[in-house]
Amino acid sequence: MWKVQSSKEPIRLFKSDFLEFFSHIHPAIVLIIWIPVVLWFVVYGLMNRPDGVYLLYFPACMIVGLILWSLTEYGVHRFVFHFKPRNKWQERISFLFHGVHHAQPMAKSRLVMPPAVSIPLALLFYYFYANVIEMIFGRPHWVYPLFAGFLIGYILYDMSHYAIHHFDLKSNYFKMLRKNHMRHHWKTPDKRFGVTNIFWDIVFGTWVKED
Give dist(CA 209, CA 39) in Å, integer: 39
Q: Is there a domain that residue 211 lies in?
A: no
- φ, ψ dihedrals at 14, nearest 5°: -130, 145
**By three-state DSSP, how is residue 122 classified?**
helix
DSSP 3-state percent helix, strand, coil across the chain (nearest 5): 65, 0, 35
> CA–CA separation, 99 vs 173, rounded Å?
27
Query: How many independent structural domains does the chain possess?
Result: 1
Instruction: Establish if 166 belongs to a structural domain.
Output: yes
Is 148 among the domain residues? yes
pLDDT (tens digit, 9 = 90+) per residue, 9-63? 788 888 898 888 888 899 999 999 999 999 999 999 999 888 877 889 999 999 9
164 found inside a domain:
yes
Does residue 14 lie within any of the structural domains? no
**Residue 48 counted as domain residue:** yes
pLDDT, tens digit (0-9, with 9 covering 90-100), for 134-188: 999 999 999 999 999 999 999 999 999 999 999 887 889 999 999 999 999 989 9
Assess if residue 2 is contained within a domain: no
What torsion, rounded to 10 degrees, do the Cα atoms 61, 64, 66, 68 define? Answer: -130
- Cα 171 to its chain centre, rounded Å, is 21
- pLDDT-wise least confident of 72-86, 99-113, 149-163: 99-113
Alpha-carbon distance of 10 to 22, in angstroms, equals: 13
Residue 5 pLDDT: 63
What pTM was estimated for this model as a whole? 0.92
In this structure, is residue 1 part of a structural domain? no
Q: Range of 71's domain?
A: 19-105+112-204
